[in-house]
Amino acid sequence: MLERVVEGWLTSTTEIAFQVPFAQLLTTEGYSVLQGPAHHPFEHGKDIIARDPEGRLCVFQLKTGDINVTSLEAIQGQIHAAVTAAVSYPGMDQGKLADRVLLVCSGTASPPARDRLHAMNEGYVSKAYARVELVEMEQLVGRFCRAQATAIGIRDLQSLLGLLTSDGSGEFQSGVLLRILQGQLDTAVVDGGEARIVRALSDALLTTAYSMSPWLLCGNHLACAQAWLVAAISVLRCGVRANLQTQRWKASFELAVAAARANLDALVGEASEVHDLVLPDLSEPLVYPTRALAICGWASAYYLSERVCADPGPSRNLAVSVVQRELPFVKVAGEAGAAYLFAIARLLELHDHTKSAIELTAGWLRTVCQANAPKPAPSVSALPNLYYSLEEALQIQCGTWPEQRTPERFDGRAYTAMQAVDWLAARGAREPVAAVFRELSRLLHVDVEPSAPYRWLEMRDDEAVATEMLLPCPSSWAEFRRRAATPSTHPLGDYLEQPGLITPYLGLLLPHRFNRRLASLLGQMH
């Protein structure tokens, strides 16, 4: 079964998407990965640089699909550079050449291509260079299957098959993958043994790579980014829960984050080149505003996250133009969209559009207060709470929610109104709060705080503390200002050198975690 999954993934993968799982495979096999995965103009034919278990310096050139003479000639310059150019890496002797050069393809090489490569190798060996070793699909399937040491339970296997048979056109089913990965990792933690857990972290990245195959085939960069971020937070959660030393989980975490960053950079780059977000759907008038919200929210989160990176992605600043172009079309069907709006507002604020950011936040506060005002009978106009995804909220708002799944009442409560109050108070914007205070004081405000740092990264926390409150009337603006001015501590700050790297993404992946503390942390990002 696993062999077929791996074969299907190798057939559909792209070169960039191939790099992270292959780097993780090398780590599992005992290699020390020195550089990669990365693509930049000064690559010199070296996708990944590593030392094998014997300490030999290895250079890997990765290509997807089959290799024939034509495709081999197209990459001959890269192969030649990998063989003859010195490897540049901090701490390495200057002028050091690779001991091994490996051409890795996800397909197979034709006989004429093999003959050509053999002739190239004769020339290299005669000049005392390394031979080019060919690694093909058959070898890769065996190596990836052997690397998958953590068994997947029957229920999770069925869920994985469900992902593999998706059409890949919509958003990635993050909740499904999160349950699969956290189930795998929890089993390793319960079984005990640090080596067992670390191996399970490697398996989690491989499972993630396989699961996104349909979205990869569709070129769905957003879905692929979502999948890799699910892997990243699952690895982080496991490391924190198991109290592992940082170096034991850091490599897997960074690989997953790097893959997500690459996909989000591609998403923003593509979105900036089109005049609108194409949606070939008959219900486009209803779906487009939600699609615009998703793209703007993820583009904003990417922009905010990249600001803390030493090597920000090339498309980072394009996010601003995408947001400004699509913002007029954005609409929110449920409170799960609040994290998207706050990410957009912070991006606008950092680009000196403070007035627009305040108007956006004030608009959200007004919308929640009006839509969720207490009503004598259930109303479809009330915004579904944070525990309903954007897609589910849209179904409820459009009346297409399955009849057998009657949603709860949403009027009379709000989960994100106080986040808007905090933001506006921190910026001294009293008027928007005063304008809706009567409606605001009639709502029961709910704020949920996870019971432990690692539980911020879970779908469910039965021990979380839910605080419910009604605002006193009148309330003190000075008290609002005091609370908003108090810095929030990051729940994962003790485990990450740069917690801001994932802060903007948490509310998008796990909307029910977008509480007052997370909103405040987003507002503190620079």
pLDDT band at 165 (very low <50, low <70, confident <90, very high): confident
DSSP class of 454: G
CA–CA dist 252, 435 (Å, integer)? 49
Note the Cα 476 to chain centre separation in Å: 40
How would you list the strands of the sheet with 413-414, edge to edge? 413-414, 444-449, 465-469
Pairing mode of beta strands 444-449, 465-469: antiparallel
Give the tens place of pLDDT for each residue, 21-63.
999 899 889 999 988 764 343 344 458 999 999 999 999 999 9
Note the Cα 105 to chain centre separation in Å: 26
Instruction: Note the pLDDT of residue 280.
Output: 45
CA–CA dist 511, 507 (Å, integer)? 5
The CA distances from residue 240 to 24, 29, 48, 456, in Å, are 20, 24, 29, 11
CA–CA dist 174, 227 (Å, integer)? 6
Instruction: Note the pLDDT of residue 9.
Output: 87
The four Cα atoms 466, 472, 475, 480 give a dihedral, to 10 degrees, of: 0
pLDDT at 383 over 60: yes
Lowest average pLDDT, out of 226-235, 385-394, 433-442, goes to 385-394
pLDDT at 244 over 80: yes
**Residue 182, C-beta contacts closer than 8 angstroms, at least 6 positions apart:** 234, 237, 238, 458
Name the residue type at position 13: T
Give the tens place of pLDDT for each residue, 279-324.
544 445 567 888 899 999 999 999 999 999 988 988 999 999 999 9
CB contact at 8 A, 124 and 92:
no
Structural tokens at position 374: 């207490």
For residues 175-182, average pLDDT: 95
Place of tokens 């079309």: 329
For residues 357-362, average pLDDT: 97
Note the Cα 134 to chain centre separation in Å: 32
CB contact at 8 A, 34 and 87:
no
Prediction pTM value: 0.87
Mean residue pLDDT of the chain comes to 90
CB contact at 8 A, 192 and 242:
no
Tell me the angle at which helices 174-191 and 154-164 cross, rounded to the nearest 10 degrees. Answer: 150
Percent of the chain with pLDDT over 70: 94
Lowest average pLDDT, out of 32-46, 101-115, 284-298, 486-500, goes to 32-46
Instruction: Note the pLDDT of residue 282.
Output: 40
Lowest average pLDDT, out of 229-238, 322-331, 392-401, 490-499, goes to 392-401
